[in-house]
Amino acid sequence: MDVRERILEAAAALYSTVGFRGTTTRRIAADAGVNEVTLFRHFGSKEALIREVISRGWSRFCFEALPEQPGDPATEIAEWALRYYGLHAECAAFIRTRLGEFQEHPEILPTTEPPPPARIAALLAAYLERLQQEGRMRPDIRPARAAAMLIGALFADAITRVGVVQMYGTSPDEDVRQYVQIFLRGIGVTS
């Protein structure tokens, strides 16, 4: 593999577990099997390196929208939620450290505005809005709020599951499906 790639990968793994301060240039170099100097020759500084690591981390969260024309909400939302959950569970360590450091290093931000989480929520909210316009969802519920709720539940589960196992069931898959089920009944969508 390319040297530059090896460095980025090692740095990403380190960052996810020990954060910015814990990710020392010496450890990155050692983990990547590369001389420490090489790292500076490629990226200039540690901060620039980590900035690229984080930017790459964020870029994984590009998410496809839900169907433009809602068909069967139960399966469409369930599948979307499972994808959302899987992606976030996979990157849970990265998200946790990023969440803990975003106020300390606000200068390292995704170039996109609004940030990925808000954009993903907006996708679901737009879908719900269409559902509502077609009269298939209770009119007294704000789509954005409902979306925030379901996404919040998925997000919290994906991110805390490894740490607080006792709170959850044994099968993330079944849990997610139940969340969606409760959610759909809650917003008055009958399938």
Partner DNA sequence: CCTGTCAGCAAGCACCCACTTGCATCCCCT
Partner DNA sequence: AGGGGATGCAAGTGGGTGCTTGCTGACAGG
Q: Please say whether the beta carbons of 61 and 30 come within 8 A.
A: no
* Least distance to a second copy, CB of residue 122, Å: 8
34 versus 159: smaller Cβ distance to a second copy:
159
Q: Does 186 bind a second copy (CB under 8 A)?
A: yes
Q: How many Cα atoms are found within 13 Å in the side-chain-facing hemisphere of 124?
A: 28
List the one residue from 25, 38, 55, 181 that touches a second copy (CB under 8 A): 181
List the one residue from 13, 19, 40, 110 that touches DNA (CB under 7 A): 40
* Cβ-based burial of 32 (10 A; exposed 0-12, middle 13-18, buried ≥19): buried
Cα gap 150→120, rounded to integer Å: 12
Interaction partner, residue 37 (a second copy, DNA, none; CB < 5-8 Å by kind): DNA
Q: Please say whether the beta carbons of 73 and 131 come within 8 A.
A: yes
Candidates 21-29, 82-90, 127-135, 169-177 — which segment interacts with DNA by CB under 7 A? Answer: 21-29
List the one residue from 1, 41, 111, 139 that touches DNA (CB under 7 A): 41
Q: CA 65, 83, 102: angle at the middle one, nearest 5?
A: 85
Number of amino acids touching DNA (CB under 7 A):
20
- Amino acid (one-letter) located at 122: A
List the interface residues with a second copy, window 6-25 (CB under 8 A): 17-19, 21-22
Q: How many Cα atoms are found within 13 Å in the side-chain-facing hemisphere of 118?
A: 5
Tokens of 180: 């969606």
Q: Which residue has the tokens 């505005």?
A: 113
Q: Does 66 bind a second copy (CB under 8 A)?
A: no
Residues at the site binding a second copy, with contacts judged by CB under 8 A: 17-19, 21-22, 93, 96-104, 114-115, 117-118, 121, 141-142, 144-146, 148-157, 159-160, 162-164, 166-169, 175, 178-179, 181-188
Residues at the site binding DNA, with contacts judged by CB under 7 A: 3-4, 23-27, 33-38, 40-42, 44-47
